[in-house]
Structure 1
């Protein structure tokens, strides 16, 4: 398709009722995705500016900051951006100037957390329309606002809008979605008032009026959730009715999203849900005759072109896709290659932990402006052992840096454990990473040798065979025995080995006759959760026993927001948590734990007993830096470890990819153009686990 025929590439002008128009150079806008890249007092940082400007350079028509709090008691994240004082203006002016220099419009989303804000984060008692706590956010009971205090908050939005214009923003978006303050006034869950602010549209309209009065000639829009999510919340029809009462003549666009804190699966959707999930809700908003933006699983150029060409919306709001790779913009506009988002939701789940990172893009959200992997000297050769996420990442980085890379793997296809993950019910988009990696291997000339076993105790032989100047080991590590009586039974298998030996259980379409009647899974990590959920959905009865006190504790809430409730509700699934297997006799397991008698309790354990990694962790007894040095001396060239064994972080794909990236940067630094002799560099610099010199 030629560029000039793509709907996404067409300009869009915003501005109604005599207001000075602003034109987006295309129909692509970044959504107001929170990232925790600011300072603790709400200021923007160089890291954050670099992140947003990089996406403007990629060609976005409009770049939007995250939900930005208008008053200090509305702050919901430790490092969230603020527009609560004039002191925020200079830093944001630096941002908007940089965005304008790249040809993008600059937008800011104004927000107040209301009942979702918590005193432990903001330092202030939270306030809300009614004293209804948000359990998901922390459960603090908010103080009910008086009528005068409601008006005070209206003024806070107006003053933040004034500051936004002074800071150089072209567009202001009012956050009326996702269960934040404006949405709280709309919702019957959180608004039980009997005064004028009890009408769901009243506070919203007071904010719209005040902001328009403060910035009469600025482009102003509002984001709404097309449905709240909970059964007792705002329905799809109810939200349309509320929006119909909005002072739309004072707005220049609407931007539709979905969900609330109590229905987080609608805010950031699972990979299980179809692309363009909100398209069916958009038509109802066309009646208002106002430009419409839309979010929701817009993860490919094809779906974006589809919704724009159909007139479903006028522009799209992109979050995860451009977080995973700003080059996605070029993919939409011109068909360029890009690194795909796999909808794992590590990004949103990191919000409560620190900076927002990405599984497939290890360069973002790691407390730094990304540092390119240094170019290696001409002719440098690297051998990578292991073609899982860590090995593929290391290989790509080193090949991009100019190395000739050979990858060895025992398996028959690249991707390692992704070969299983991409076929699980809850992670169907994971194949996009392996597909992209395979294409990148071909583009970069990486020599992938599948079905090739490497003896890691004889790395000198590998170096002689390949003439490698460096080696990356991305094999994960050693796995000890399962640790209970009877663990040597032929029916006790590593869960991954069992899946590899029974490809029929994941085949499509499902052959019910080929499915086992029952399995027992020892461990309750994310792998066990995914396998149990997938097998149960295919008709297999599952007994899940784990020492963890919750299912998949290493995963965030959004990554398991659909799978865990499904398991808990499925009558074919038995779950015993905080429980340890002591013995297996072939048909039963003896378990111990709270509620069990002193001698233990016997449970029927039909089918094979599948052991997950959470209860048989990788052997990390040798410190990674010591092992690096030992292996380097053995091989006579620099050797570094990649994979979760390096730093003993949870065995999830995100950590494996980051580890492979860091390993590549360590090796590239030692093979860099102009670097010292390899042997000298091995002896002179002690590298820490994150790749930085100590």
Structure 2
């Protein structure tokens, strides 16, 4: 973009006020847990680097993860920011200073998890809640709060907000969304009280009203207060249509809060029972719940922040221009690429690393207390590690030395990107006619187009950095030696596992998912078996179902979808079920005889035989070990990446590619 030229996203880059606070643009990084605070609830250096990177990248309003107003008995996980003691103020001030350094504005979201918290983690017998209604997701004991507990909790929220103001944090957000404590009082699904805090709409609002009054008392009328709430709990996703809050209720809540003097509304959806409507898997399209924010926007005259799987600047500009909301909110878009806004401003949309909605972030966050590692992003290795890994920290010592990279999948391309940034001269060999490797296949099933965004990003990086890519080329040992490479990076992926111990597995009507996904084999209106229900198997079954095939899925494990993160499994199985797909868990393939497949029932040990037109075997993959002996013998530095090192997922590919390139000495 030439100097003085206006960018095409005029609305996105216009300022807008929340109360007395001017936000420099319309982008909001909404709250997301990350598990990088200190164990005592103090803001960590990692937190400061994490939020600072988003501010530096141009996000107008940065909202932190939900911070605990009661760290002792109201944590969501073991590492979470807290605001219930004055000792936290210095850390919060450091964080505010870091965000302000880049011209951005900071809000801290405060909350209590209520019935969605883990009792043991909080050292209590039962979690505080509006009522005793147990969460179907976490299954923790909960009790109906007494009026004294409600009063005490109200004061904890107010005291936390006051500390934020003292720390120089620009605004407070009260978290009433996603089924946490405030939301538990708002919703008739979770609030079964018969006293003045339950029953009627006014009574269900009372807890939040009293918190708002207490915050105003402690912080003054001009301290900006934002409320995040679920405008629709989408209980139909939990098989409970008509229960909980529907959009009509959400609009009513919005009007009430505007009347209470709230400065802005952050509109989301869902609770834990309907989690996929709050943190969406890949099956949800960009903007799918924008109707919630739009309905709220029509009903109130205060600013509305909308979260709705927003991934592209063009879409953000469109909904802002149409007046559907005042701010676009996203956590994952800015987690995947902290420079999203800067790149949009500079007209560099092709450089944006768009979130592919794989939910690796949620999977790692939910496992973080057990694993001890922070939340991660499958496509941005630096995410939550900004204090240890950043572009600025990369050594620039490549001195044009050649590094041969075998394979242009996500691991090879990530390695080539980092090598080029360090000043090496990577030469990438790819035996196929296009880059992408396994990701090119993973983007083929229905609703998986977003996965292909990673290839688009990496491919453009190769072009921008001038990386030499040789397509349709599996290099020979002589060709590699001719380069005199300083190092050889091997990222030529994996091969489908086809156990020779299974008689008939090499038959004419037996195929691999690769053949189905890459279009080598097209099956339509056939009777097809898919053996194996990992993500590849299930997605292949979905694609086959979409093509009019009658599909039956067999799985040796006790349940369909072993190892698949539950949110992704719910998402894909919801679509698979629409095709009438039959499911047979506890069935091990033992033999194929022409068009007949024999399975052993792992429970009864009896054999069952089924007839099919075609059989697709999806039993996982194993590392491609081609050339391993020769390469290890011929070259001093040989590094294996991604599936070539160990068959795994996108995160494994990106992480091993990044680290191999960053750590090459």
TM-score by length of 2: 0.91
**TM superposition shift of 1:633:** 5.0
Quick check: 373-382 or 350-359, which moved more? 373-382
CA distance in 2, matches of 1:66, 1:289: 27
- Partner of 2:276 in structure 1? 265
**TM superposition shift of 1:375:** 2.1
Matched, 1:122 2:122: yes
**TM superposition shift of 1:252:** 0.8
Deviation string for 1:254-310 (max 9, x for gaps)? Answer: 111111111111112233333222322223223221111111111100011011111
Q: Please show how residues 395-414 of structure 1 align to structure 2 within 5 Å.
A: 395-414=416-435
Contact 1:540 1:572 in 2 (8 A): no
CA distance in 1, matches of 2:632, 2:285: 51
Q: SS at the partner of 1:562?
A: helix
Deviation string for 1:484-506 (max 9, x for gaps)? Answer: 22223233332213433536x4x
Match of 2:498 among 471, 481, 495: 481
**TM superposition shift of 1:180:** 0.6
Contact 2:493 2:624 in 1 (8 A): no
Contact 2:509 2:595 in 1 (8 A): no
1:593–1:43 distance in 2 versus 1, CA, 3 Å: farther
1:202–1:537 distance in 2 versus 1, CA, 3 Å: farther
CA distance in 2, matches of 1:280, 1:409: 44
Match of 1:553 among 549, 554, 562: 562
Q: SS at the partner of 2:207?
A: helix
- Partner of 2:388 in structure 1? 369
Structure 2 gaps of 5+ residues are 236-240, 369-373
**TM superposition shift of 1:587:** 2.3
Structure 1 gaps of 5+ residues are 16-20, 506-513, 671-694
CA distance in 1, matches of 2:54, 2:30: 12
- Partner of 1:468 in structure 2? 485
- Partner of 1:329 in structure 2? 341
Quick check: 469-478 or 238-247, which moved more? 238-247
- Partner of 1:690 in structure 2? none
Deviation string for 1:498-556 (max 9, x for gaps)? Answer: 433536x4xxxxxxxx6251321221111111111222133212121122333433332
CA distance in 1, matches of 2:132, 2:263: 33
Q: SS at the partner of 2:377?
A: coil
- Partner of 1:682 in structure 2? none
Quick check: 83-92 or 549-558, which moved more? 549-558
Match of 1:290 among 302, 320, 323: 302
Match of 1:219 among 206, 219, 224: 224
Quick check: 73-82 or 108-117, which moved more? 73-82
- Partner of 2:90 in structure 1? 90
- Partner of 1:444 in structure 2? 465
**TM superposition shift of 1:571:** 5.6
Contact 1:56 1:102 in 2 (8 A): yes
TM-score by length of 1: 0.87
Matched, 1:22 2:21: yes
Q: SS at the partner of 2:204?
A: coil
Q: SS at the partner of 1:174?
A: strand
Contact 2:406 2:428 in 1 (8 A): yes
Contact 1:119 1:126 in 2 (8 A): yes
- Partner of 2:656 in structure 1? 659
Matched, 1:642 2:660: no
Match of 2:584 among 576, 601, 623: 576
**TM superposition shift of 1:48:** 1.5
Deviation string for 1:652-674 (max 9, x for gaps)? Answer: 212111121122223xx32xxxx
1:121–1:294 distance in 2 versus 1, CA, 3 Å: same
1:26–1:362 distance in 2 versus 1, CA, 3 Å: same
Deviation string for 1:44-72 (max 9, x for gaps)? Answer: 21112101101111122111111111113
- Partner of 2:332 in structure 1? 320
Contact 2:43 2:92 in 1 (8 A): yes
Contact 2:601 2:608 in 1 (8 A): no
Contact 1:523 1:545 in 2 (8 A): yes
Contact 1:254 1:293 in 2 (8 A): yes
Q: How many residues are matched?
A: 637
Matched, 1:206 2:206: no
1:362–1:549 distance in 2 versus 1, CA, 3 Å: farther
1:481–1:537 distance in 2 versus 1, CA, 3 Å: closer
Quick check: 408-417 or 356-365, which moved more? 356-365
- Partner of 2:371 in structure 1? none
**TM superposition shift of 1:196:** 0.5
**TM superposition shift of 1:186:** 1.2
CA distance in 2, matches of 1:631, 1:659: 22
Matched, 1:537 2:546: yes
Contact 2:379 2:654 in 1 (8 A): yes
Contact 2:35 2:365 in 1 (8 A): yes
**TM superposition shift of 1:388:** 1.1
**TM superposition shift of 1:369:** 2.4
Matched, 1:612 2:626: no
**TM superposition shift of 1:95:** 0.7
1:4–1:440 distance in 2 versus 1, CA, 3 Å: closer
Matched, 1:585 2:604: no
1:571–1:442 distance in 2 versus 1, CA, 3 Å: closer
1:543–1:618 distance in 2 versus 1, CA, 3 Å: farther
- Partner of 1:187 in structure 2? 187
1:659–1:215 distance in 2 versus 1, CA, 3 Å: same
